[in-house]
Structure 1
Amino acid sequence: MTQAKKKNSPPGARWDIWLEYGMCHWLDTPAKLNIRVRCKKGADSSLVEILHEHNHIVHIERNGEVLYDIPHSLEDVSESGTDRSCLSLEKIVSYGATADLSGLYEVLDKQIAYNSAIAQEGLSRPWGESVGRTLLEVYGNSVNVRARAAAAAGSDARMNGCEMPVVINSGSGNQGITVSVPVIEYARSLQSTHEQLCRALVVSNLVAIMQKYKVGRLSAFCGVVSAGAAAACGIAFLQGADADVLGMIITNTQGNVGGIVCDGAKSSCAAKISSSIEAGLMGYEMAKRGCVFRPGEGLVKEQYEKTIDSFCRMAKDGMEATDRKILEIMIEGC
């Protein structure tokens, strides 16, 4: 096993974390995610290691005895799962409009029920820094504000210890909340049918996945930016928008808040969710008026697909050093 590195590790190493008895140290490892935690109470001690994915436990020890160990490599593993390269806005809009939903209602109904419930919990009680509650208190009760506030409130609760379940998107609970709760709020305001809501959620979920899959599981790029754009696309679809409008929404959103960084799961995620949804909804209002950021302005390209690719390359490749620096700064405070 790789030895723990101390805080004065040289720049350029792949930073991961070694937690031992309340102390944080660096690990020099090629894995994007590698965490080892050693705990001790009295004469007893334990060691657990996760690798590559947050729920991928590869090693467990108790009092020095290995209880669990599976073959593993510290080298980066390739992304697995369904091939998502076939996704396009045209196909997503067509699928959302015509798909047989009989096999999807179970998961969509869970997403509606679970994510709405945790949003309501966050609005009902002062979880975390109460971003969602603050939005409603300060900015009123319009559907635009409710969409942002309810989603932020779900994150308020989730990021601060609430154990209520959430249906995720792209491996993230916050992204799952972001792609669904605003669409649900707008569907209620528009008095949409259950089927119309479910079709809009299909669009929102798939648009988020389409934007995010090239980034990979872990990046310094905040995934709720893509999710906020996707939620606005679901809301636009609910109101009859076509694929061209959805492409403009994505371009306007990414061109606005595409630089938000991920610095871990914590209270401020709720505020980032609100900002991303607001940017998505503004991007929709711009699109309805024929306004879209032009190619050559920053990372914006001629087609929405190329714009998405620009931000994915920035997030996956360009922000690798940013990811290391964020971890370095965070560890300094431990």
Structure 2
Amino acid sequence: MQPTDIRYQNYIQILKEELVPAMGCTEPIAIAYGAAKAREILGCLPETVLVEASGNIIKNVKSVVVPNTDGLKGIEAAAAAGIVAGHADQILEVIASVSDAEKQAIRTYLDEHEITVRPAEGDVIFDIILTLRSGDSYVKLRIADYHTNIVHVEKDGVLLLEAGHTAENVQASTLTDRSSLSVEGILDFVETMCIDDVREMVERQIEYNSAIAQAGIDGNWGANIGSVLLHHYGNDVKIRARAMAAAGSDARMSGCELPVIIVSGSGNQGITASVPVIEYAKELQVSHDKLIQAVTLSDLLTIHLKTGIGRLSAYCGAVSAGCAAGSAIAWLQGGGYEDIAHTLVNSLATVSGVICDGAKPSCAAKIAAAVDAGILGHQMYCDGQQFYGGDGIVTKGVENTIRNIGRLGHDGMRETDKEIIRIMTGL
């Protein structure tokens, strides 16, 4: 693929849009970002706060620790952190710099001010509406479709921003069209690209995500899935790939204040797409540039798999990233298009349907299972084994199977998503 090819430029731009830093689970951080921005526009600390959130936002914020809050969880904590200590110009690192005094101030604000949470009206999957009031003044701000997409701002009856209506799973116009992505095109791009076009952003992903994975192994975070795997299964690279990715998630879900580079709006997916590939690259002693290529391959495959599903779903996003990581590992071991395509199909057939029941420590175990399926998918192909079209949701051709996965995650699991939210909220 030539740099002058429109697809080449699209792929570069997609990576720039997706590989961004975030500290903490991205859904509560999106609330903190919106709250910080709204407070900035209001010009003072609000006396009351109303947060209207779609079911998937409620699901993903309910059980995860908001970083830099001394262990607080939930929508109220995320909003308070953004209001009291947030820096909106830092976007998804909005609460990366919080002093000890500000941590106490967040708790005080929660104790002394009214923060009301309600389900958002309508069917938009990703929807956050914040209304901050002080005296007779108010600011209403809406984020929809993805984490940093502010689509509406009004102050005291004056419209400051209106970015148009939102619709479920619509590819927001501010993002590059993902329809040019294909397994064949992604592989062509990775094998022919100028490494320097992606070097800075992928090297940052390798650095950040390796650091939080190591912190997860070294510390006591969540359910310590990484340490459990290493203790009971040994130190083989197949185990390390699962353990390190799980450890990064455990740390992140439990309030670790290290940043990650996200993929498809998710830090867990960013970790899963990169860390297993990094472990295999170390084991195989490949060049640094080849590692960059492999991580880029995994990132783009993850994005491709997730495009049809949507940003938030009942379908666990770690599955997409784990299957993509398995395919990048296959490439590191000399695999070509056929190897990668069959690895994807084999692994997707194995773990598609794992549910997303919000952000919390069990995400780490799901990541371990997804990476294991990705590695197994490659080992199956190496031994001449595969799943065939007609085997369940598998159909002939990797792109057709990917479309089936998108249909399953976006359409088929919609009612499952609603039931999960009802179970989690006790309704």
Question: TM-score higher than 0.5 here?
Answer: yes
Matching residue of 2:28: none
Percent identity over the alignment is: 43
What is the correspondence of 1:1-334 to structure 2 with a 5 Å cutoff? 15=55, 21=114, 25-36=118-129, 49-57=142-150, 70-71=161-162, 75-76=166-167, 78-80=170-172, 81-332=175-426
Q: Structure 1 residues 67, 134: CA separation in 2 closer, same or farther (over 3 Å shift)? A: farther
Give, in whole Å, the separation in 2 of the partners of 1:180 and 1:67.
45
Give, in whole Å, the separation in 2 of the partners of 1:111 and 1:118.
11
Structure 1: which amino acid aligns with 2:211?
A
Q: Report the alpha carbon displacement of residue 60 of structure 1 after superposing the two structures with TM.
A: 7.7
Q: Report the alpha carbon displacement of residue 95 of structure 1 after superposing the two structures with TM.
A: 2.3
1:144-195 superposed Cα distances (whole Å, 9 cap, x missing partner): 1100000011101111111211111112111111011001000101111101
Q: Structure 1 residues 285, 16: CA separation in 2 closer, same or farther (over 3 Å shift)? A: closer
Q: Report the alpha carbon displacement of residue 98 of structure 1 after superposing the two structures with TM.
A: 2.3
User: What SS does the corresponding residue of 1:28 show, helix, strand or coil?
Assistant: coil
Give the structure with the higher percent helix: 2
Give, in whole Å, the separation in 1 of the partners of 2:243 and 2:217.
8
Unpaired stretches in structure 1, ≥5 consecutive residues: 5-13
Structure 2: which amino acid aligns with 1:160?
S
Q: Report the alpha carbon displacement of residue 234 of structure 1 after superposing the two structures with TM.
A: 0.8
User: What SS does the corresponding residue of 1:196 show, helix, strand or coil?
Assistant: helix
Contact 1:17 1:36 in 2 (8 A): no
Q: Report the alpha carbon displacement of residue 278 of structure 1 after superposing the two structures with TM.
A: 0.3
Q: Structure 1 residues 274, 145: CA separation in 2 closer, same or farther (over 3 Å shift)? A: same
Give, in whole Å, the separation in 2 of the partners of 1:60 and 1:270.
36
Structure 2: which amino acid aligns with 1:192?
V
Contact 1:31 1:74 in 2 (8 A): no
Contact 1:132 1:148 in 2 (8 A): yes
Q: Report the alpha carbon displacement of residue 256 of structure 1 after superposing the two structures with TM.
A: 0.7
Contact 2:146 2:265 in 1 (8 A): no
Higher relative contact order (CA closer than 8 Å, sequence separation 6+): 2
Q: Structure 1 residues 102, 59: CA separation in 2 closer, same or farther (over 3 Å shift)? A: closer
User: What SS does the corresponding residue of 2:260 show, helix, strand or coil?
Assistant: coil
Q: Report the alpha carbon displacement of residue 313 of structure 1 after superposing the two structures with TM.
A: 0.6
Unpaired stretches in structure 2, ≥5 consecutive residues: 1-49, 59-74, 77-113
Structure 1: which amino acid aligns with 2:426?
E
Give, in whole Å, the separation in 2 of the partners of 1:39 and 1:306.
46
Query: Which 10-residue stretch deviates more, 273-282 or 319-328?
Result: 319-328
Q: Report the alpha carbon displacement of residue 259 of structure 1 after superposing the two structures with TM.
A: 0.5
Matching residue of 1:9: none
User: What SS does the corresponding residue of 1:70 show, helix, strand or coil?
Assistant: strand
Query: Which 10-residue stretch deviates more, 84-93 or 153-162?
Result: 84-93
Root-mean-square deviation (Å): 3.0
Q: Structure 1 residues 117, 296: CA separation in 2 closer, same or farther (over 3 Å shift)? A: same
User: What SS does the corresponding residue of 2:261 show, helix, strand or coil?
Assistant: coil
